[in-house]
Amino acid sequence: MSKDITNILVVGIGGQGVMTATEILAEAAIAMGHDVKKTEVAGMSQRGGVVSSHLRFGPRVLSPQIAPGSAHLLLGFEAAEALRWAGYLRPDGLVLTNTARIVPPIVNAGVFDYPEDPIGQIRALGLEVRAFDALSIARELGELRLGNTVMLGAIADHLPFAPEVLLESIVRRFQARKPQLVELNRRAFAAGRAAVVEAMA
């Protein structure tokens, strides 16, 4: 694997905006001239099933698939999903995760047990974790759907390009469809960046 390639794994539950977040990250990487490959696996995503998205970018990327133990960043929209995918992270990688617990249907069906302390279990693996409550941040801003932008703000300072590049991709998307939400998304992005800094303290 080329050292010039960045591997990002985005995971969560259907309806949280995992795929949209990956698309925006991909658009930002393309804007910086990177070759980009991504793949998504959605298990009944529209019904709250689990969703994972692999994103790889760099000068030349051949495969969208991230191998276990090679992700630089794991962006967890849901804590238990972040734990489930933690094995894909490099030893020096970083987990950025929402603390909100969203129990997927497979747990309710009795197929899996929901872990008692998913974030503690990730830390016990020796991985670096920044955990924050994206849902509460979005609620404070008055719009739960902003959780997606909060998550993008959280990853913004850990990418190999300036946070403004990612923000510009978000703004472009909303200017075209819902210009009235641009300012709110700017605030959500800034709040996500601040939440990660606070999580380091």
Q: Which residues pair with 137 in a beta bridge?
A: none
1 lies in some domain? no
pLDDT recorded at residue 40: 81
What is the tally of structural domains in the chain? 1
104 lies in some domain? yes
The larger pLDDT score, comparing residue 1 to residue 79, is at: 79
- Burial profile 7-17: b = 16 or more Cβ within 10 angstroms, e = fewer: bbbbbbbbebb
Using CA atoms in the order 4, 153, 11, 6, what is the torsion angle rounded to 10 degrees? 0
Q: Has residue 60 got a pLDDT over 70?
A: yes
* Residue percentage of the chain with pLDDT more than 90: 75
pLDDT recorded at residue 63: 93
pTM for this model (two decimals)? 0.92
Structure tokens at 91: 């030893």
Stated as kind and residue range, the H or E segment containing 184 is helix 182-200
Q: Which domain holds residue 113?
A: 6-200
Q: The CATH number of the domain where 102 resides is what?
A: 3.40.920.10
